[in-house]
Structure 1
């Protein structure tokens, strides 16, 4: 009897750990498109888990993001696949490499290349699949289905077509060059400034500009300081012509004091003739609470 019991224990110990799979039922599959000028999201909710989403920010390509309400996956590495559908005989899964599972609601953001491969796979009927083995050998899988994807993807592309050309991190700091040595804005400078102006118009929380004018070391210090001031003024005038108030602009000028590169060649001196532009969000002043009403006890009958 003891030998049979030990044999049963050995058999169960040799069985693989039960796989835990999260997948929405076919009849309940939906794709949702959300977004604005700053970010577009193409989302499939996953029953009892969270959601998978393609997220594209302005100025960037999309990434794939896995969100969880309360993830049963532990931290560590998982495999991302573009899995073939059961009704596609002869087609194997495509291994897109590893992703790092983190704590919190956002388990991971894929690379842009991985997200591009997942989109192409969905258009071919493949499923994004995340496969994770725990330290104890347990298997967890999260799968999205390609049902209704093509139509939703069209709506998502319409959203991405309206994204701004750059996001805040990309547009926040820009060097406006004066390679010819003068104080006039050239065509490239106007293009770069217009991108910043368009962003500020779309995001009213970005409401302050700091301008730092610079020169090379060709002239004397007084001349260089004046050149850097007039270049900064030219940039300030462009912002004012496009709706900014002078109170939103801080203007500084430094002459040759802070070169970007050494003034050791004509090309380097051209780089140093510039205005550094920085956009900032100025926090709104805190609202003070109204003073509490004070009742004079003597006046209460």
Structure 2
């Protein structure tokens, strides 16, 4: 494979500026579906180039990207098209806009909107096409073919139904509110915590949960600190009831010390009554003590 790749590079260097197209022969086209609870991928290998693939992470819409096996495609700009098939006379290409191309294993990634339009195009018999403009004036095209797409797309959609509601970047910093002023978890808070629990059970590498309780400034300092403690405890008790080990949980409470907004009206005070939740992956020797009995607020008072 490496010798073939080097031969292609040598050939391209010796040719005048021209258009070069990478695509798989129609009879050899295949689509692959891979994935788990965190990510689904729908890809088509491209002969002598790499692959084109749709990637959908948990909690997000799909993007389209190309994966290069070498550095044939250099940095620059490209046009992304949903191209009409040659056997569909009278249909024009759909220009989805200009995109940036870089060197490396994944030289190009689309927006979510562009990926959605490419999927609709494939279902309509169109080809995702990246037309890259080289510095020497030549043009390189990378094309996927729509053959066998519908069956593979059905399998991909089945994978998507099993994705978690959120990915780690979305779930690692979460907030549970107490807008009513008490310490009880409302329906919204429980729904948020259920999403966190689902992620924790799917990803055992996340083994550290930090709970930081907060209050507004309505009461005196001691009352506010106790309220923030009881709110953090309410969240911890919910997590424990769902099977999350207590030794993974660190609890702190801060009273009114760290408001999100000035405590100047009811809406702002409601925002400040909260528990911030931070998830992390911590090696065993790095883990802090599981529960801080008086928290940061007590140490700094």
TM-score normalised by the chain length of structure 2: 0.88
Partner residue in 2 for 1:234: 234
SS at match of 1:154: helix
Matches within 5 A, 1:217-232: 217-232=217-232
Distance 1:97 1:267, change over 3 A: same
Partner residue in 2 for 1:142: 142
Asked if 1 retains the 8 angstrom alpha-carbon contact of 2:73 and 2:103, the reply is: no
Q: Summarize deviations over 1:112-157 as a string: whole Å, max 9, x none.
A: 0110110011001100111011111011110100000000000000
Cα distance in 2 for partners of 1:71, 1:158 equals 34
In structure 2, list runs of 5 or more residues that go unmatched.
Answer: 1-14, 287-301
Cα distance in 2 for partners of 1:210, 1:167 equals 18
Alpha-carbon distance, 1:282 to partner: 1.4
SS at match of 2:107: strand
SS at match of 2:207: strand
Partner residue in 1 for 2:85: 85
Cα distance in 1 for partners of 2:73, 2:266 equals 58
Alignment partner of 1:106 is 2:106: yes
Cα distance in 2 for partners of 1:219, 1:39 equals 46
Partner residue in 2 for 1:43: 43
- Which 4+ stretches in 1 moved above 3 angstroms? none
Partner residue in 2 for 1:250: 250
Alignment partner of 1:203 is 2:203: yes
Alpha-carbon distance, 1:72 to partner: 1.4
Partner residue in 2 for 1:4: none
Matches within 5 A, 1:46-195: 46-195=46-195
Alignment partner of 1:267 is 2:267: yes
SS at match of 1:106: coil
In structure 1, list runs of 5 or more residues that go unmatched.
Answer: 1-14, 287-301
Cα distance in 2 for partners of 1:111, 1:102 equals 15
Partner residue in 1 for 2:279: 279
Alpha-carbon distance, 1:283 to partner: 2.5
Asked if 2 retains the 8 angstrom alpha-carbon contact of 1:214 and 1:275, the reply is: yes
Asked if 2 retains the 8 angstrom alpha-carbon contact of 1:49 and 1:71, the reply is: no
